[in-house]
Structure 1
Amino acid sequence: MVSRRKIDRRKSKSHAFRLGQPFFMQVPKKLAATSLAGCALTTIYASHIAPKIEFEAFFLLICAFGAWFVGNRFAVLLGLFILSIQILNGHTIPIQGGPIIMALQLSSALAIVLMLGVARAALEIEWRAARLDPLTGALNRKAFFEAVGDETSQTGVTVLIYADVDGLKRLNDRRGHEAGDEALRDFADRVRKSVRKDDVFARIGGDEFVIFLRVNDTASAEIVAKRLHRVLNLAHFEGETRLKCSLGVLVLPAGSKSIDAELKQADTLMYHAKVDGVGLIMAISIKGDMQELMPFAPSVNSDGQQRSAIRSTERPIEVAIRDGFPKSSIAA
């Protein structure tokens, strides 16, 4: 079995939240700033060795790109840098039509540059609003299928975790919807702290969440699922708004191309986990069929308190039936 330390140090990278964005919105700001600064220096050098050529349009274009890809502050600073270098190099600023006309030209150029930055910021806000759940900050259903649709084309073992928050309706009835909203935000924060940046975490219903992540093998999947279960359900909670959840964990082997049927299977596993009260049920999907990692009934102490919500072993369903597990039940 893969060690916990190895799983805890799984590679963290930028999340696939950018999926669905146009290419010109995916350029990293640091890369854009460095490239545009290099273009500005190159253009300044070109204007120095060819003073008869007017490079003002090139400088304006560089600043406009700076506003779009990096931001208005960077664009203004870049423009001031270009202007300062040009003045220090002895380039005179032609005044055609008097200072008023020149002021109008400069202010018009500045307005165009700043409007590009504002438009980019507004576009990003709208793009995020269309894909983020406003309450929890998790991806919404649309963004989830966008991200997972791209991930399923890659190789490797993936894990689909379907989580249903327990007790939300009861909390809403007793404490009001504000308390319920706070509980959902707290739940989402705990999940985010337990997964990597490139794992897909989405809210697809009122109290239903989905996590889609990639692991090395099924042993790693079991460790990750149990760790998440421990954080969400077994940790000591203070306060009534700290809700627990039921988890249905479906391990998808390499080559899985679809997610719709698998999502229903994970939902079914979650349902059995909720009904049977075990908290977590795992299974592995092979060509669309579920092969149970059969959970055993949780052990209890002398006070009747549950010691371990789940212990899973990977075995074919035929072996599980032969060993005495009922064919109609997922959990013993």
Structure 2
Amino acid sequence: MSDTLICTHVSKECPIELTTYGYRPNLGGNIFLAVFFGIAFITNIILGIRFRIRAYAIVLSLGCLAQVLGYIGRVGMYFEPFGAIPFQAQICCLIIGPAFNSAAVYLMLKHIVALFGAKWSVLQPKWYTIIFITADVVSLVLQALGGGITATADFRTDRDRIKMGNNIMMAGIAFQVVTLSIFAILATLFCVRRMRALTTYPLEGNSLQAWRTLRFRLFLGGLTTAFMAIYIRCVYRIAEMRGGWGNKLMREEIPFIIFESVMILSATLSQTILHPGYFFPWFVDQTPKLDAESSYTELSYVSGSRTGFDGSK
């Protein structure tokens, strides 16, 4: 590792194998990913304004922005494999980015529960946001802290610092996996309880109308796809960092592309294309007609009394 620190460019004396990853990131693939997430960033801002769903738009846009910066960093690593700034940018931004995607998933469950009946839920709708967004923030802070410590460490002399940063990042991602697992359990319990109660308490009103629409079912499919993709990515990241910096898995780009890049691209694509502003038809009006030609500018839910949802709740 001592040779690595005095290298500024790839040469006979400083081969690419001496870099942390041991490869030059694929230029075309990383440019594509930076552009994709840039488009998704702009799209989510526009959709957030269009449908007035602020919280969802903010967290998903921040996630896209982190991905853009991360993949710009990897593009920079193609030209400067030994460059400190590109390396620091990609490790910090790509580590924390998916936490914002998971926050967007968490925001939706309380509205689904409120729509189909809070009485079958373990938690009241508001607690889903409070508990899981708080847990997501804790995960985000740990990952950012660990990434910052690792990215700024001296790879020649700060082996303990690097190990500490790596362990903190792993703790943050592991905490995110635990949070996602608990979320999945609670969501599954709600679905099972509601399905079992259908014979006694059939769907009616808004819940029945929403369930009959293809749009809403596609939205649920997109939400599930995003959840699974984020979960797979987090498990991969734990395996990748478990062996320490420069381990065999970390020095292979194909697993990274499949389990990091493709997974978060899939999650972001699902969350953007199947946007709740159009695909989750729940309205202030208690008796709307959900026809394919209609479009709506407000997403609302009812819990005891009528409450307008603007994404800030």
| Normalised-by-shorter TM-score class | under 0.3
Higher strand share: 1
TM normalised by structure 1 equals 0.23
Higher helix share: 2
